[in-house]
Amino acid sequence: MTTLLPHIEIDTAPKPDAAVIWLHGLGADGNDFAGLVPELDLTGCPGIRFIFPHAPEIPVTINGGYVMPAWYDLLGTDMISRQDAAGIGASEKAITALIEREIARGIPAKRIVLAGFSQGCAMALHTGLRFPQALAGIMALSGYLPLAERFAAERAAANAHTPIFMAHGNQDPVVLPARGEASRDQLSSLGYPVQWHSYPMPHSLHPREVVDISIFLRQVLAPEVA
Across the range 10-34, mean pLDDT stands at 97
Secondary structure (H, E, C), 126-168: HHHCCCCCCCCEEEEECCCCCCHHHHHHHCCHHHCCCCEEEEE
Q: Which residues are known catalytic residues?
A: 118, 172, 203
pLDDT (tens digit per residue) in 94-114: 999 999 999 999 999 999 999
Q: pLDDT at position 81, please?
A: 79
**Mean pLDDT value across residues 157-179:** 97
**Per-residue pLDDT at 202 exceeds 70:** yes
Q: What is the pLDDT of residues 45-56, one digit of tens each?
A: 989 999 999 999
pLDDT of residue 67: 98
pLDDT value, residue 1: 52
Query: With bands split at pLDDT 50, 70 and 90, how would you rate the model's confidence at 2?
Result: low
What is the pLDDT, as a whole number, of residue 90?
Answer: 97
Give the model's pLDDT for residue 225.
Answer: 53
Mean pLDDT of 63-86: 91
Provide mean pLDDT across the span 44-72.
96
Percent of the chain at pLDDT above 70? 98
Distance (Å, whole) CA 155 – CA 195: 19
In this structure, which amino acid lies at residue 6? Answer: P
28-35, long-range: CB < 8 A, 24+ apart? 28/69, 29/54, 29/55, 29/69, 30/6, 30/54, 32/117, 33/117, 34/8, 34/10
Residue of 168, 170, 48, 184 lying closest to 125 (CA atoms) = 184
Contacts of 105 (CB under 8 A, 6+ apart): none
User: Which of 13-27, 29-43, 75-89, 143-157 is predicted with the least confidence, judged by mean pLDDT?
Assistant: 75-89
